[in-house]
Structure 1
Amino acid sequence: MTDADSQDPPAGALKGIIVADFSRVLAAPYATMLFGDLGADVIKIERPGSGDDTRHWGPPFTDHHEATYFLSVNRNKRSFTADMSAQEDHKVLLELIRRADVLIENFRPGTMARHGLSYEKVAEINPRLVYCSITGFGSDEAAAALPGYDLLVQAVGGLMSVTGSSSVEPVKAGVALVDVLTGLHAAIGVLAALRARETSGRGQLVEVNLLGTLLSSMVNQSVGYTAAGAIPGILGNRHPSIAPYQLFPASDRPVVVAVGNDRQFIQLCEALGIPEAAKDSRFATNSSRVAHIDELDRVITARTTEATADHWYRVLSARGIPCGPVNNIAEAFAMANDLGLNARVTVGPDEDSVNLAANPITLSETPVAYLRRPPRLGQHAEEVRAWLNSQPTPNSQTIAEPPNHPRDINQKQPMGAHS
């Protein structure tokens, strides 16, 4: 296999877009990785010596002693080390920002401003820049001092109040779900701003925060409160509005059954060998099933415990009833592979490759590409500096118009001008 770092960039949907990536940990790095997957040239700025915090978050580590946490959200990027408080490095960063289409940062509010890199300052030298700021709780003074950790936001944002078993304490999601959702919202906001720039010729400030993202992403639970005043509690594996839509025990491991309408419920009862349950007035409609969920649970459980989860998966799926066993991660990837989803990709040269989770987006004309493995700290510092020193610096007037100079920092081929 050829070293991916030596290949020309693919013709991705975002080819020609340069991203100055001031992010670390998860939410913003996830967003910038998506841009890299789609063809953007992402330059990740890291602290000299230590780099992104997640480089040290383990176990697990690979055989090359790399933290898998860092690997999960940092492919398709170049690593460039710089100290924002050092005068010479600050000049270099300003030069990078002059050339960038997008800047993404997720420091605490005020951090970038203290280093002279606020949106207002950098917009003076690059008015076409789309500047994305990700915070925990927004940029108001009252929110600035609050640390934006996913676990904290899951707690104060209400997610933990509806997650877990009714018999135990509230439980967080098994991954940093709020960070991932925030990264997705940030990516959408930046893409919208880039689209608007095609008409206006100017960039803008995009702001996304973890708390607002969570409240929006809790969808029916949030609007149940805002529109009807309902405050949900912990339902375990049950659904507040649909039944049966939950986990049931099989003879070997749990199985999920997700019935979304009355027709599916009739099919479920026939498949379980209890057709009379579909005619029971307590279970005849979805609303009545929700109202009598405890009784329904007992009726269904009496049957599901008589066979294995895989048995019910085959029998119920054959009737069009959404059903599946609770897989571990290995089983989940195996299932995806059986379904032809190609959910696992190998990135990098043979002797230095790493297996990662694939980007789930499929584009017929401008496909996702895995050009680079996650970088070592400062791996691309010399080539980035060479690029910044080799071309004339556009001034603000020039930036306002599409420049003609090449955009690929390896000088292999033009990467397009500002669109």
Structure 2
Amino acid sequence: MSESLSHLRVLDLSRVLAGPWAGQILGDLGAEVIKIERPGAGDDTRSWGPPYMEGTNGKAELSAYFLTANRNKQSLAIDIADPEGQELIRKLVAVSDVVLENFKVDGLKRYGLDYDSLKRINPKIIYCSITGFGQDGPYASRPGYDFLIQAMGGLMSITGQPEGEPGAGPMKVGVALTDIMTGLYATIGVLAALSHRDRTGEGQYVETALLDVQVACLANQAMNYLTTGKSPTRMGNAHPNIVPYQDFPTADGNMVLTVGNDQQFARLCDVLGRTEWASDERFATNRARVANRRTLIPMLRQATVMRSTREWVKVLEGAGVPCGPVNTLGQVFDDPQVLARGMKQTVQHPDLGEVPMVGNPIKLKLTPVTYRNAPPLLGEQSEQVLQQVVGLSSDEIKALRERGVVS
């Protein structure tokens, strides 16, 4: 089987999450991804722990955070502040297809590694820049982090308990979702640019910003505002446009109901033994249920506490009413559907042994995702890449190591 992107080489100068996430997706799809890191330190997330996964030799270790976004990559440690290091990057660009970077605006220009400089070496290069706020605009020079962008981009204003309830206040999402979505958009942009290059032979500059992505992904909440002029507010786990669509208490915990239409609501009422609710003009349509949620939700809560989560899920699924438990991550990775879909993977590492991985959700029948390499130790493939891709001899690499240019 030929992997989808096995003909491509990606030079990944990014670190932390958004850029590495894009690089990992391209690597999963078969691209050769060379991760450029700082000698001695590497990607910032190598030190973002605990937890760490310790090696079988008792010395090597990788943080769980680094393991998140760096499989299917080779680590090449180069000091890009050194002119010799910059020249090595240029040699790699000459034989690469894609560059990923998430330095500050013009951060690579002082090294001669910006797009305008590198396209003179390789006019076909696809150069993707990821920043917090974009390459222009009044905030362009500011550093951007996921938590900050979740706040500035409006996500935290619609996440958390409603005003006046216990625990009320703005709340971030439990993972760096803006970084991840930015990585996805960056990947889409790179693939679009590669498609254009296939037709025209032209490389191009691609850029995306965390704030842009966060605003774009406000989705229906953004349109709720744009069509009414009224800013949505925090609603806990409730949905602004659909009722009932939230968590409910059970006899032993909680479950989630996601009733998407009136027919599903009628079936829910049958299971609850409250068939009259389905014909009640206050609840018969979703529009009516949204208007009367303050009346309906307490009534539903009184009914759902009468059985356990497992019992409710069984009977409601049998009736065709979408529902499910609120799983811990331990339960998620024991779930038979999650396992059947290959969302729990392992890869072998020479020093770390068997490394657990979260699977890639893309399913391609002819060119499936592969899990070829575990996330690398810092500089693990430096010599290999410098020899096989750049064409340096062992003596030349040794001299570069002695001067601290590579490690």
- Is 1:109 aligned with 2:105? yes
Q: Per the alignment, in what secondary structure is the counterpart of residue 71 of structure 2?
A: coil
1:136 aligned residue: 132
1:354 is aligned to 355
Give, in angstroms, the shift of residue 341 of structure 1.
1.2
Q: CA distance change for structure 1 residues 153 and 336 in 2, over 3 Å: closer, same or farther?
A: farther
1:142, distance to aligned residue in structure 2 (A): 2.3
Match of 1:192 in 2: 192
Cα pair 2:17 2:179 within 8 Å, conserved: yes
> In the alignment, residue 312 of structure 1 is paired with which amino acid?
W
Deviations 1:79-104 (A, max 9, x none): 00111110111111100011110000
AA aligned opposite 1:83: D
Specify the alignment match of 1:398 in structure 2: none
Shift in Å, 1:337: 4.5
Runs of 4+ in 1 over 3 A off after TM superposition: 336-339
User: Which digits, 9 at most, give the CA deviation of each residue in 1:26-53, with x for residues without a partner?
Assistant: 0010000000000000000000000000
State the shift of 1:336 in Å: 4.6
Deviation at 1:148, TM superposition (A): 1.1
Residue by residue over 1:103-160, the C-alpha shift from the partner in whole angstroms, topping out at 9 and shown as x without a partner, is 0001111111121111111111100000000010111162233221000000010000
In 2: Cα distance, 1:155 partner to 1:336 partner: 36
The structural deviation recorded for 1:338 is 6.2
Q: Give SS of 2:215's match.
A: helix
Check 1:338–1:66 CA distance in 2 against 1; reply closer, same or farther (3 A cut): closer
Match of 1:405 in 2: none
1:62 aligned to 2:53?
A: yes
State how many pairs are aligned: 382
Where does structure 1 lack aligned partners over 5 or more consecutive residues? 1-9, 392-419
2:52 partner SS: coil
Q: State the alpha-carbon separation in 1 of the partners of residues 386 and 182 from structure 2.
A: 31
1:344 paired with 2:344, answer: yes
SS of residue paired to 2:301: helix
Q: What is the DSSP-based 3-state SS (H/G/I as helix, E as strand, rest coil) of the residue aligned with 1:385?
A: helix
In 2, distance between residues paired with 1:338 and 1:16? 31
Aligned to 1:412: none
Whether 2:219 is the aligned partner of 1:213: answer no
Q: Which runs of 5+ in 2 are unaligned?
A: 56-60, 393-407
Name the structure 1 match of 2:69: 73
Q: Secondary structure at the match of 1:186?
A: helix
CA distance in 1, matches of 2:211, 2:129: 14
Say which SS state the counterpart of residue 145 (structure 1) adopts: coil
One-letter amino acid matched to 2:255? V
Q: Structure 1-normalised TM-score?
A: 0.89
> In the alignment, which residue of structure 2 is the partner of 1:176?
176
- Residue 112 (structure 2) pairs with residue 121 (structure 1): no
Aligned residue in 2 for 1:18: 9
CA distance in 1, matches of 2:2, 2:339: 28
Please, what TM-score do these two structures have when normalized by structure 2?
Answer: 0.91
> Which residue does the alignment assign to 2:398?
none
Map of 1:325 onto structure 2: 325
Matched-pair contact (CA < 8 Å) for 1:336–1:343: no
Identity among equivalent positions (%) equals: 46
Pairing 1:16-415 to 2, within 5 Å after superposition: 16-64=7-55, 65-140=61-136, 142-166=138-162, 167=165, 168-337=168-337, 340-349=340-349, 352-390=353-391
Evaluate the alpha carbon distance shift between residue 389 and residue 61 of structure 1 in structure 2; reply closer, same or farther with a 3 A threshold: closer
Higher mean Cα deviation, 139-148 or 36-45? 139-148
Please identify, of 93-102 and 143-152, the stretch whose mean Cα deviation from structure 2 is larger: 143-152
In structure 2, how many angstroms separate the alpha carbons of the residues matched to 1:159 and 1:189?
23
Q: Which amino acid aligns with 2:188?
A: I
For 2:142 and 2:312, how far apart are their aligned partners in 1?
47
| Aligned-residue offset at 1:310 | 1.2
Contact 1:18–1:102 under 8 Å retained in 2: yes
Q: Cα offset for 1:63?
A: 3.0
Q: What one-letter code is carried by the residue in structure 1 that aligns with 2:353?
A: D
Distance in 1 of aligned mates of 2:390 and 2:378: 21
SS at match of 2:119: helix
CA distance in 2, matches of 1:246, 1:366: 38
Kept in 1, the 8 Å contact 2:92–2:390? The answer is: no
- For 1:338 and 1:233, locate their aligned partners in 2 and report how far apart those are by CA, in whole Å: 33
Q: Partner letter of residue 205 of structure 1? A: Y
**2:123 corresponds to which letter in structure 1?**
P
What is the deviation of 1:388? Answer: 3.6
